[in-house]
Structure 1
Amino acid sequence: MTNNRTHALPSKGTGAEDRNLQQATIYRILLAVSFVHLFNDSIQAVIPAIFPILKENMLLSFAQIGWISFALNMTSSVIQPIIGYAADRKPRPILLPLGMCCTFLGVLLLAYANNYVLVLFSVILVGFGSAAFHPEGMRVAHMAAGLRKGLSQSIFQVGGNAGQALGPMLTKWIFIPFGQIGALGFTIFAAAGIAVQSYVARWYQQMLNDGYTFRKKAAARSLDPARSKSILTATIILVFLVFVRSWYGASIGSYYSFYLMENYSMKLDDAQVYIFMYLAAGAVGTFFGGPLADRFGRRNLILLSMVGTVPFALALPFVSQFWAAILLLIGGFILLSSFSVTVIYAQMLYPGNIGTVSGLITGLAFGLGGIGSLVIGNLIDIMGITTVFIACGFLPLLGLLALLLPGDEKLEQWASE
């Protein structure tokens, strides 16, 4: 644990003093935002977890399921860069507890929603809560990181991925036995999140009052046109890669349980265990991704996480139940090992604009992944689930575009100038 001497940056002081005061890593804050990330994303995981129940109760098509996923992803994602941009200009710690209040209302309504429109509205509320949390949450993680930025991102992101991994087990333990009303129990998670976020927001506000500033605001940087063009190109490639990763992840998280039930005559609660294994392995991969990137390079890790998934993704539709479980474990670990690394890479492209960049990578890119989920749902209705899953296996091949990203040496040079 960090020692508790001053960890805020005074408004006046020498550069050497500023650097010394930012070196402490505030683990209690990192763990707090990581736990809230777990609460937030476990509530988001309620949405796909409840898909089979909603499909049966409301006689929904796969396309309608895709629209629910689309509404969640677009609401929680597209406005994240906007909130992040605003936070970079004027931090708003109050958004942390307010976002969880919105999530509380959304999950409460979801428990009692008795028609498709109300389901969509409740999902949108949950999405707004998530959108308010992520940019400011990442800024808090950055503030509390000290010099251990990679570790802080791994701690923060593993909370979210662990929350997502709970989704399939929520179906098995809660929604199959209790049905839709089981969502009511997640108001407890949201209430806990409100309490923790209130504590974090007070710490965040105190840091700002003491004069903490993020180093190297983008407005102060003077970049030549060639450098600006290279950074823009790298950003587009990075967002596209996260989009592809999210699209493939949506095919597994939202629809693979239906594939298992159709092709292996598997019961729903058994199918959810497979999804849990994939997401849990991804959470472990997220935690180890930072150290692996430190050893092998950020760009290399992003490349390997995508391309290394290809053989497992291609083989998945053709193997037995036993080997499907093995492939899901390995593929989930490899694919999501770059989860926190892509965020760090983007933050190094735009030093100082932590909220904007974080919102762009985890927000807008995941929103585009929501479009992928919608497309997949419609394609399943038209072509059948087996054909679509075979086609989805080729998606990680697009990770070869990571070869066009600047290497770590160039990235660090840009970030330090």
Structure 2
Amino acid sequence: MVNKWNKKLVIGWSIVMLMVLLAMLVTYFFIFYDEDLNESLSLTVTIETNQSEQESIAYKLWNEYLQPFQQTTTSSWKRISDVRYHQFKILAGDTSHFAVSVDFDVKLEKGKWSAHRNWGRVEKDGTIKGIEWTLRIKKTGENAYTLERIEKTPLAVAGLDPVTDLYQQKAGIKVADRNNRYQIVNEGLEVTYDDGKHWQKVPVNIAELFEGAYNAARLELIEGSYTISPEKTAFVIGNDQNVRILLSTDKGKSWSEEPVPNTLPGIRMRLLGFTSDRDGYLILTGDKTMSWEANVIFVTRDGGKNWSKAGHVEEQRLITDGGFINEKLGFISFGSINVMDEPPRPSLYRTTDGGKSWAEVKIPIPAEYKGIFVEAEIPIFDGSQGTLLVNQGPNGDYQGGKVMARYISLDNGATWTFANLVDPDQVMGE
């Protein structure tokens, strides 16, 4: 009888413990998984006229959203026992559709679980510190605002990491790829895919890599005129009507030359890149006269074997940077522009149809930085959210000339909002 009673007791306790564990897991997943964060949305609140600031709107929606998680459940314990926010910060958008980041801590009534992904570490008392969300909010009535979606705030938006390659990449700064690179040795070109352990000779005459309107030393390749990766390595060679793409898709073991039709005389800039295994672009400028030149955009849809003309930008000033994000979305920067008596400002153009048509994008410079940040670089994107850097141009001397302005877009680069300054060399405040 005792053994049977003990067995029943053990089974009973096992069932109880299993139920408790399941409850904890359900709560944990409900709070921390992205899918569940948006399960109860959309959420709409009415705002008083004197609370129409975007941060205040975000606070009310955030607070309203968290209310159910703080209520007592049928299990007689709370999912969250305490919530404390640190700051709300407008990231991008306008008064009708915007994104706000919130940095906050929560304390779980029954904690000691591992936090999911990058949410943060759970302390012994059940506290999770430094949770960062992006709240995407839309005005849906005269005084009504709707929380459309909650996302984890990327590091590129939430704040700045220490000055490392990872930080620079997330801030939008181009970082050299050590594993996949080239070297010019004894008038020959070589590539490596393992940080220099092995080198593969490229079958090209060095002179062909520098043809056109290029008069600098031939110690380094023209910036933007090549791409090196294990999947696809390509170099722009030739000039005038004999421009080709030297292409390898097997780490330099075999090569082919693919012609680019109807190009320009006296090629100056050549910007080559691939946005997928099949989609690529080539931006050429040439026929330069004083500070004016022509431009033409080519695309490939078969991995670089065949190239066709997509279009050109009507603007004929000198291009400083350009590239595509995908087969449709692309940007070209014409450096800075002076209009009337205004300080110089960035001149950035955008296409959404693969380079057929282009329109200038407005980059609003804060009053205190007008005439300082003048030259847009090509943005990077995480989905529809983009990060754009605007530098000081070749003559910039603000804080040593390396500090840049960072902008955020939520609509594939159609509009941009100033976010903060990027200080890669940590010179500010010295």
For the superposition of Structure 1 and Structure 2, which TM-score range results when normalised by the shorter chain? under 0.3
**Larger fraction in helix:** 1
- Higher CA-based Rg: 2
Q: Which has the higher contact order (CA 8 A, sep 6+)?
A: 1
What TM-score, normalized to structure 1? Answer: 0.18
Which of the pair is proportionally richer in strand? 2
TM-score, with normalisation over the residues of structure 2? 0.18
